[in-house]
Amino acid sequence: MRRSKKAEKRSKAQGGFSSATRASLLKKKGLTDSKPKPGVFQPIADAASDQQLKSFEEGLQLFQQQKYLKAKSIFEKVITGPNKEFADRARLHLRIAEQRLQPTEPAILRSPEEHYQHGVAMMNMGRWDEARDHLLRARKLAPKADYVVYAMAALDCLTGEAESAMENLKIALLSVGGDFEHVVKLNSYLTDIEANANEFREVRAQYFTNKSALPAATLVQVVRLANPNFLLEVEVIAALPPKA
C-alpha cells in the first residue's frame, strides 16, 4: 500500500470477503433482533447483479440445508454473473459443495487457506465451534492474513461476541500500522436503532476513549444487512501514520 504523509485504509469485516476491513458487531450481553423485515439494503448496479445476488442467497440457503446438488447447480449460474464479489463467494461454496458430493475420506487440512475456507463453510452452516477452531488454526498459520481476521470478526457478530469483534477489528488496524486513534470516519448500520443503539454505543465507547478527538460518525437504520443474521455493521476509514 502506498503511503505519503498519511495513507488511508478502509477497514471492514464482513465475513472477510472484501479488500476493505469491515467489522459487524453485536452486543455481548444481547442485542435484540426485531421482526424479520423484507428487502436488502444494498445498492445494486443493475438487474443482472440483482438477480445474481438473489440466486446466491437461494444457493446459500440450500447449502446450509446440506442440499449440495441443488446448491451446486445454482452456484454454477452465479459465478457467470457480472458482480465479482458474488461470483467469488459462489465459487468458494461451489468447491465445498462438490467436495461434499464426493464419497471421499475426510480431507486433511494443512494450509491456512484450507482452514479458512473450511471455517467459513462451517460458519455458513451454523456450526460455530468448528468454524472458530479452523479460523483460529488459519490465523496461527498465517497471523498477518487480514482476511482471516475479518472472518473471525464476522463469526463474533454471529455469536454475539461484540468485544471480540472489536478486538479483531483492532488487530486488522494494527496489521497496517494503525489503531482506533487513527480512525477518521465511522459509519454504523443497525437493523433496529431503538433496540440496539444504546448497547452498540457502550461497546464503541470502550475503543474510542479520546473524547476530544472522536472520528466523524454516521449511525443509520437499514432494512437488512447482507447476512440476515447480522444486527450491526461498522465501517471505518483510518488515516495511517507515516512509515518509520
Q: Tens digits of per-residue pLDDT, 24-75?
A: 444 444 455 555 455 444 454 578 889 999 999 999 999 888 888 899 999 9
Domain ranges of the chain: 7-240
Q: What is the pTM of this model?
A: 0.48
Please give the helix or strand (H or E) that residue 131 lies within, else none.
Answer: helix 128-141
Pick from 12, 13, 10, 11: nearest CA to 158? 13
Q: What is the pLDDT of residue 73?
A: 93
Q: Looking at domain 7-240, what is its CATH homologous superfamily?
A: RutC-like (3.30.1330.40)
Q: What percent of the chain has pLDDT over 70?
A: 77
Q: Which secondary-structure segment (H or E) carries 11? A: strand 7-11
DSSP 184-239: EEEEEEES-HHHHHHHHHHHHHTT---GGGPPEEEEEE-S--SSTT--EEEEEEEE
Residue 220: beta bridge partners? 189
User: In which band, very low, low, confident or very high, does the pLDDT at 99 lie, cut at 50, 70 and 90?
Assistant: confident
Q: What angle do CA 23, 24, 27 make, to 5 degrees?
A: 120
Confidence of residue 23 (pLDDT cuts 50, 70, 90): very low
